Amino acid sequence: MLPRLALPPTPATLALIAAAFALPGLFGHDLWKTHDAIGLGIVHDMATSGDALVPRIAGQPWLYDPPLYHWLALAFGKVLGGLLEFHAAARFASGALVLGAFWLIYRAARDWAREGDDRRTHAAAAMLVLLGSVGLLVAAHIALPELASLAAMCGALAALPHATRRPLPAGALFGAALGFAALSAVWVAPAALLAAVAAAHVACPEWRTRHAIRFFAAALPIALLVAASWPVALAWRAPEFFALWREAAWQPSGDPLSNLRYFLVTASWFAWPAWPLALWAAWSLRRRWSDPRLFVPAAASALMLPLAAW
C-alpha cells in the first residue's frame, strides 16, 4: 500500500515534487537546439575568453539578452566542472533558478493569504500551478535567460506581502528583484509589475497609506541601480556594443498587432492550465478587485502583453 497523499501536500512533499520536476533533464544529453545552444555557447565563450561583460557566441557579440543568467551558469560550470561536462554543469543554473522560483512563489502566496485563509493551501496551489504550466516543461531544462527573470519576478511578488508592515526592507527587496529581472531578460516584465504596484497604491485602500512613500523610496533607487549596473559598465568599457544592446533592447521590432497575436497564441499553450484558472479566479473574485492580491497580478499581466507587443 502506498502512503496517502494529504492535501494540501506538506512542504517536504512539495520539495520532492519540485526536485523531481527540475533536476532530471539537466544533464546527460548534448546541447538542445536554439535556446540551449545559444545560452551555453555564450557561457562557454565567457569561460574561454575570460570576458564576462560582453556576451558572445563564437566571438561575435550577442546582445539580445542581458548576462545575469550566463554569469550564474558560468559559476555553476566552474564549480561543478570537475564532476560533470561543462555544459551540463552550467545548465544546473536553470535547475537552481526554477527551484528558487517555486520556493519564492510558494512564499508569496503563503504570506499574502488573507486572515482566516488556509495559507498552506494557497501556497501549494500557487507553486503547483506554476510547476504545471506546459511551457515550463521544456524551458526549465535548457539554458534560458528568462529563467533568471522568472525567479526574480517571483522574488518581487514574495516581497509585496510585507509592503505595508515593513515598507523599507520590503521595498529594498522588491527593487532588487526587479533590477535582477531587468538584468536577466527584456525590461517588459519588471516594468509591468512596477507599474501595477504603483497603480495599486492608488486604487487599493489597503495600500493607500503613508508607508507607500517609504516603500517606493527604497524600491526605486535599488531597482535602477541594479538594472543599470551592466549597461553602465558596458557603455564605459565597450560603447559600440552598448549602442547595439540599446538598439536590440529598446527599438520596436515588427508589427505590434502581429506581435500581440503571436504572444496570445503562444501563451494559450505555454501558460496552460494557469490562464483559464486565472480567468476563473478573476471572475469568481470580481467583488475584490480593490484587493492588491488580485489587482497587482491582474494589472501586471494586462500590461505585459501590449508592452511585449510594442
**Which of the residue ranges 86-90, 132-136, 217-221 would you say has the lowest mean pLDDT?**
86-90
Does residue 128 surpass a pLDDT of 80? yes
**Structural domain contains residue 141:** yes
pTM: 0.93
In the chain, pLDDT over 90 holds for what percent of residues? 65
The interaxial angle of helices 119-131 and 86-111, nearest 10 deg, is 150
**Structural domain contains residue 264:** yes
The tens digit of pLDDT for each residue in 58-99 reads: 888 998 889 999 999 999 999 988 888 888 899 999 999 999
User: Which residues span the domain enclosing 274?
Assistant: 11-309
| pLDDT for 184 | 94
Cβ neighbour number for residue 259 with a 10 Å cutoff: 17
The tens digit of pLDDT for each residue in 261-289 reads: 988 999 999 999 999 999 998 899 888 88
- The number of domains in the chain is 1
Structure-model confidence comparison of residues 28 and 199, the more confident one: 199
**Structural domain contains residue 238:** yes
Does residue 1 surpass a pLDDT of 70? no
Does residue 20 surpass a pLDDT of 80? yes
| pLDDT for 175 | 97
**Structural domain contains residue 5:** no
The tens digit of pLDDT for each residue in 176-185 reads: 999 999 999 9
Task: Categorize the per-residue pLDDT at 2 as very low, low, confident or very high, splitting at 50, 70 and 90.
Answer: low
Does residue 52 surpass a pLDDT of 80? yes
**Structural domain contains residue 197:** yes
**Structural domain contains residue 4:** no
| pLDDT for 247 | 84
| pLDDT for 251 | 75
The tens digit of pLDDT for each residue in 136-169 reads: 988 999 999 999 999 999 999 999 999 999 999 9
**Structural domain contains residue 30:** yes
| pLDDT for 190 | 96
| pLDDT for 116 | 79
Task: Categorize the per-residue pLDDT at 26 as very low, low, confident or very high, splitting at 50, 70 and 90.
Answer: confident
